[in-house]
Structure 1
């Protein structure tokens, strides 16, 4: 007889343990063991969360190199049925070799589940018939579980799930995450209802009255916003370092529908617009994506949303100042160009309509489409097409954490008919879909890769652009990490081309995420290691850094409603002169918008920072060392960002790697 020493690790997550009986079988190249019950447990066979259980499996002779293990969980006394979340199983063979089998998946039924040894294998690395068979079987099962669905024509496809309970257990929130998430929703809503604001449909009497709801949840930046929201310099600053740094671009020629003249604007040193454009000092923000989208009524009142054009000028002290605003795309007598030389009131109203437009552009085009929906596509394609033993799965699995559940919740409660966001923004659901489709039609591969995007928008030399500075550093760090890991597994371009699972993953994303759009530069296949590394870098950056940049500051910049109105109750002025408190959102809409942005900005209860890999999917030395070096580089960048922020009037923290999650979880 030969003995195999088996160690079973259960995750520390609350409710991860089980009272059920657990049986384990070892499968090797030369045979298999009997299915043995896990014996080293506590009272009544309970396997506690965080436990490490040891037992021995004996075989008449060696079963060779271990390929996989089979785990089966059976009900205890047929009365108690509960799930179990094992982390990994380690097996020491009689020859003295240690095998590690990563699991990190809920086992909820009494079926036999098979898990491969931790060494990463591409499809053409498989030499044993059992490995090939189980690889195919796993992917067939995943294709049945993770199905595509069409939420709306013209936008990325989603996972087919009517509600969160219909999602596979392995992608559910943790117990802690679920409880805290529900508690946040409940308590914030109850607070506002008890104060009598939630259902109050009256208009504000005065801008300062908004303090009655603003005081309850404040941040250092939200306080700054309240004090400075009227200032032109702060208005310009937000296009670079607010929640939507994705729209501004260098202006080299004025659009036909925005003919601003030298006589209209006053530039430093009496320079001409033409001269300043040549110097790279003029910038444009064009909200054409919002033009004439379908609007809705709130509390019986029609709402209004503009599609502005904004011209900005970098002045010698490096501030970005707005110099002209047109609120609608089509030039007309009743669509004036607003200027800083107008009355303070008219100029402020024009900027507020821009900020309301920015709310919609940000929430739907930048936040929902370019992070949440794309992250969901990346996740579904990975889970459908790439087995657990594949190096790509091991690299990307934690960057998909919680994304499917948070997106299903968003479709059920946030952007659905009657959802918190839908019912408190200017456009209805059809208008939202229109914005998404338009944004989708202009999406390019380069716009998703920050080095290319910054270059294409002509923003490489803009001062005080911290999203760019931190983002480019993060991209380089992620890229170096990805290159190191994938170059360990792919030694030449031919291996990339031969990996059918990898190619199916990228094709699925192209078809279901980017809707097979030609001419966008988005690849439908990968031919080289260089292409693979860049694409995977884009995926990780989108799911972590980019989402943090456009998500985490929502409450900071939106809590003080006049800075980010979620809608406007009156149309923009056709002539200069209008009434502010009758135009901005009423009390109820203001409060509901604040609640939504507060919830969207909450740090998760079980936060996993970029670079943290609590699940040990890699066994090989080189990838494990690459992870440690990756973490070291991220900590260095975080320290540099924090030192820089001490000298800033408005600290920019959203791209601090220690403050951002590995995945889209909120």
Structure 2
């Protein structure tokens, strides 16, 4: 696989060199015309000038293609076809324009390109530019830019100093600019002044409208890497009919059977065998399309590449470790698992030297141990750093439902025995078989009804969404799993103790006969304790699958992508809501595209390692049927799950029924801070409800989100109407919460809880042993070996959780922006500073909570403090930090 990556890069470089060479002739022709234009400017040298500072990122010289392009670019510079800019007035109409567009200034050329050699690594370069100034030009509200070179660059900003009557004018650009041959019209960028649509100066209105039209495209053809087109499509790209019938999966989206949020359109050709599917990428050269400004670049793409290599090597580590006498063929005990963190995978010296010749810093430090003797080892997860055996306790098992990797599933028990919402005509009797006799001795003297009334009973329910797939999963693969229900009791010290676990299977004769269930009770000795430990493992398997497919992928990654697309299609960069939301969409489309290509796709990592196997994405579609946008608000979610009640006298307007619920208590602080920021920001631009309802772009945005982005739910009545300021505030708060804090809470703790996979196994290969069987005797004689033979291990999944749990070096966290000049409006800037300071106070509060011995759920038996809601982090595997966006 590594060889394929390297070969692919080599082929890509060769192809790009040939492409660039072939295109240079066109650039020279263009250069000739521009040289004449530039010569005509000599007579204007005596005119008044205003200086501009341009910050951009040039392609680096380590890329052979770009080194070649740099030479060609120097040639075109000599001919006068460099980087050309023209200011556009926001206040003065062009007298020669029939459409009342802003006046366009004379051409200005970026200076000193030839004397500024491309950097070794991609980094910022600063250039000067001098614009001829006309006294009647007015306020420069936009500028055109034309790239006469043969290679693209990333334009960060333009700053004009001392504009007459206006002072400094700043343009936040943050966009890739390709050679002019790639566009039908020169690129345009707007100053960082914010306007509602009806407040936009007449001189800029046409430019504003045209830019949005360009971003929407025409819905035709295959998109290329330089395109900036945002459009929608269904999930018809994760299956591969051309590879055979076993690689066919349902299309998600566009039907009542398989509803789903929309993803970004690529326009790739259709499958040869079934035109309803999009053709899968077969070439290692080409990456899946996303609009160019949604691509990841710089240090982060280098780090992702390093982690991908690491993942490949680690997935091979166990499979081939036996050849080096390093690992047994299977893990026979928990101590065997520890070898993954204490050792490494030895490889021949010549392999290391070859790899080192291809992989430069910062890759090398990620891939090799400092002694150069071994390739890779897994970091020791925080779960077992302080207490190796604490994970096996019932207290830790329950605590992770409140402060672990999947903390937003546990519910208050509302009826006993628990019932089901599945159609009894199809699935028969699905009511729980847990009885009061099973649990009455562990209720501290309460009856079941008394315990429920006093909010003492809770349930982790992995039943209804599993049952429809369970028979198929267990009969079409080596996987053997159960649907599970776990009943828990809230103790006086604020911790939870599990009372019973129900393991259910479809009736062997037919679904209409319901389920057969086995109820396991806590035990500490003998084979009963071993059976209980296995029962907890089956629960963890369900919880892990729910976490990855529903809590993580569906409820954050997938549901947010339509918001990313609609925002760029319908809200101008001049729109205040665009400026509010855009930091929370950074890298999301690209990360999702990578996931569709190699993670959630047919025979991808998820299908190969998680228990739903080939039904993984189909299961997430089943869950999407119950997805409701307003219920993604944290307070609403907590109340719906029965872990909180409304209370006007309590902070945040609700009272937690489990007082020491780290995810909820910390989350409410972050939620409130986000909402206060959104209230301050939106109230500055919208003074009343009428301004919201009359905002044409805002209304188009909300309509498209419902009718195209979440088209399968467009008729649902619960969508906010977007007719009031409150609708806008609530919706934006939910969007930011999902993109930042909710995603962080289910992403960056994955490795610390699941990196030690006996704690959170992904699947199992056999059922609970029956008394008298060989497996039962093995469980009696060697419990750890029996446990490890039951759960299935694939180290690629462990590597994946490590990659996903890491922060990149260029992460931008909640309360931060890439640019301090993201808006010209002073009051929003002040409100943002207040938001940032509030987050600092909140983080200090969380630190104090973690030191409070009364709050036992914050650290637990494993002494792992709850830090997933801490706003800040450093680079790496920290288990804390809330990035602005779903960027990993």
TM over 0.5, shorter chain: yes
Q: CA deviation at 1:148?
A: 0.6
What runs of 5+ residues in structure 2 fail to find an aligned partner? 1-45, 74-81, 93-102, 218-228, 236-251, 254-258, 269-285, 343-377, 420-430, 508-513, 644-655, 853-858, 873-880
Cross-structure match for 2:221: none
Report the equivalent of 2:336. Answer: 209
Q: Note if 1:326 corresponds to 2:508.
A: no
SS in 2 for 1:482: helix
Instruction: Quote how far apart the aligned CAs of 1:262 are.
Output: 3.1
Q: Which residue of 1 aligns with 2:811?
A: 607
Which residue in the other structure is 2:437 paired with? 263
**Contact persistence 1:23–1:73 (CA under 8 A):** yes
Report matched runs for 1:82-93 at 5 Å: 82-93=152-163
CA contact (8 A) 1:264 1:339 kept: yes
Structure 1 Cα separation of the partners of residues 473 and 624 of structure 2: 26
SS of 1:106's equivalent in the other structure is strand
Q: Indicate the structure whose relative CO is greater, using CA pairs within 8 Å and at least 6 residues apart.
A: 1
Which residue does the alignment assign to 2:606?
421
Distance 1:232 1:81, change over 3 A: same
Question: CA 1:302–1:22 in structure 2 vs 1: closer, same or farther (change >3 Å)?
Answer: same
5+ long unaligned stretches in structure 1: none
TM-score normalized with structure 1 length: 0.92
* 1:27 is the counterpart of 2:105: no
Q: Does 1:180 align with 2:385?
A: no
2:760 aligns to what?
564
Instruction: Give the equivalent residue in structure 1 for 2:866.
Output: 652
Moved more, 407-416 or 594-603: 594-603
What residue number does 2:826 align with? Answer: 621
Of 579, 587, 592, the residue aligned with 2:796 is 592
Pairing partner for 1:143 from 203, 207, 216: 216
Once the 2 structures are TM-superposed, how far is the Cα of residue 518 of structure 1 from its aligned partner?
Answer: 6.5
Q: Which residue of 1 aligns with 2:108?
A: 36
Secondary structure of the residue aligned to 2:195 is coil
Matched, 1:70 2:144: yes
In 2: Cα distance, 1:470 partner to 1:4 partner: 54
Q: Report deviation, 1:229.
A: 2.2
- Taking a change above 3 Å as real, the CA distance of residues 244 and 49 of structure 1, as seen in their structure-2 partners, is closer
Alignment of 1:155-170 (within 5 A): 155-161=260-266, 164=287, 166-170=289-293
Q: 2:628 aligns with which of 433, 444, 449?
A: 444
- Alignment CA distance shift 1:566-1:391 (3 Å): same
Q: How far apart are the structure 1 equivalents of 2:757 and 2:401?
A: 17
SS class of match (2:212):
helix
Matched residue, 1:227:
389
CA deviation map 1:47-93 (0-9, x unaligned): 99434433432245421232311111111xxxx52423232332532
2:420 pairs with 1:336: no
Please give the root-mean-square deviation of Cα atoms over the aligned residues, in Å.
2.9
1:545-571 deviations in whole A, cap 9, x for unaligned?
000000111111111111111111013
**Does 2:285 match 1:100?**
no
8 Å contact from structure 2 (residues 502, 517) kept in 1: yes
Tell me the residue number matched to 2:576: 391
- Please tell me whether the aligned partners of residues 571 and 701 of structure 2 are also in contact (alpha carbons under 8 angstroms): yes
Residue of structure 2 equivalent to 1:10:
55
8 Å CA contact 2:59–2:153 kept in 1: the answer is no
Instruction: Give 1:253 shift.
Output: 0.9
Inter-partner Cα distance in structure 2 for 1:165 and 1:333: 43
Residues 231, 46 of structure 1: CA spacing in aligned structure 2 closer, same or farther, 3 A cutoff?
closer
* 8 A contact 1:226–1:560 mirrored in 2: no
2:321, 2:720 → 1: CA distance? 48
Deviates more, 1:219-228 or 1:152-161: 219-228
The equivalent of 2:240 in structure 1 is: none
* Contact 1:10-1:51 at 8 Å conserved across structures: yes
Paired residues for 1:565-584 under 5 Å: 565-573=761-769, 578=776, 579=779, 581=785, 584=788
CA distance in 1, matches of 2:593, 2:791: 29
In the alignment, what sits opposite 1:122? 196
Quote the residue 1:639 is aligned against.
844
Q: What is the deviation of 1:491? A: 1.0
Contact kept, 8 Å, 1:248 with 1:283, in 2: the verdict is yes
Q: Which has the larger radius of gyration?
A: 2
Q: Are the equivalent residues in 1 in contact too, given 2:88–2:143 (CA < 8 A)?
A: yes
* Residue pair 1:239, 1:247 contacting (<8 A) in 2 also: yes
Residues 445 and 573 (structure 1 numbering): CA distance in 2 closer, same or farther, change over 3 Å? farther
SS in 2 for 1:378: helix
The alignment partner of 2:52 has SS state of strand
The offset of 1:445, in angstroms, is 2.9
Check 1:137–1:45 CA distance in 2 against 1; reply closer, same or farther (3 A cut): farther
TM-score (norm 2): 0.70
- The residue correspondences of 1:192-341 to structure 2 (distance < 5 A) are 193-194=316-317, 196=319, 202-215=329-342, 216-223=378-385, 226-254=388-416, 255-256=418-419, 257-265=431-439, 266-287=441-462, 288-293=464-469, 302-328=478-504, 334-341=516-523
Q: 1:448 to 1:320 in 2, by over 3 A?
A: same
Change (3 A) 1:526 1:208: same
Cα shift at 1:662:
0.6
Contact in 1 for aligned 2:554/2:620 (Cα 8 Å): yes
Aligned-pair distance for 1:294? 6.2
Distance change >3 Å, CA 217–CA 619, structure 1 → 2: same
TM-aligned CA deviation for residue 117 of structure 1: 2.1
Give the Å deviation of 1:195: 5.8
Instruction: Report the Cα distance in structure 1 between the residues aligned to 2:758 and 2:836, rounded to whole angstroms.
Output: 40
C-alpha contact 2:762 2:792 (8 A) present in aligned 1: no
Change (3 A) 1:315 1:36: same
1:533 matched residue in structure 2: 729
Quote the Cα distance in structure 2 between the aligned partners of 1:587 and 1:14.
Answer: 47
SS at match of 1:417: coil
Q: Distance in 2 between matches of 1:312 and 1:452?
A: 22
How do residues 467-478 of structure 1 correspond to structure 2 at under 5 angstroms?
467-478=663-674
Deviation at 1:242, TM superposition (A): 0.6
User: How far does the alpha carbon of each residue in 1:602-653 deviate from its partner, in whole angstroms, 9 at most, with x for none?
Assistant: 1123111111111332111111111111111111111221232244433111
| Whole-angstrom distance in 2 between the partners of 1:575 and 1:364 | 34
SS at match of 1:67: strand
Report the Cα offset of residue 172 of structure 1: 0.9
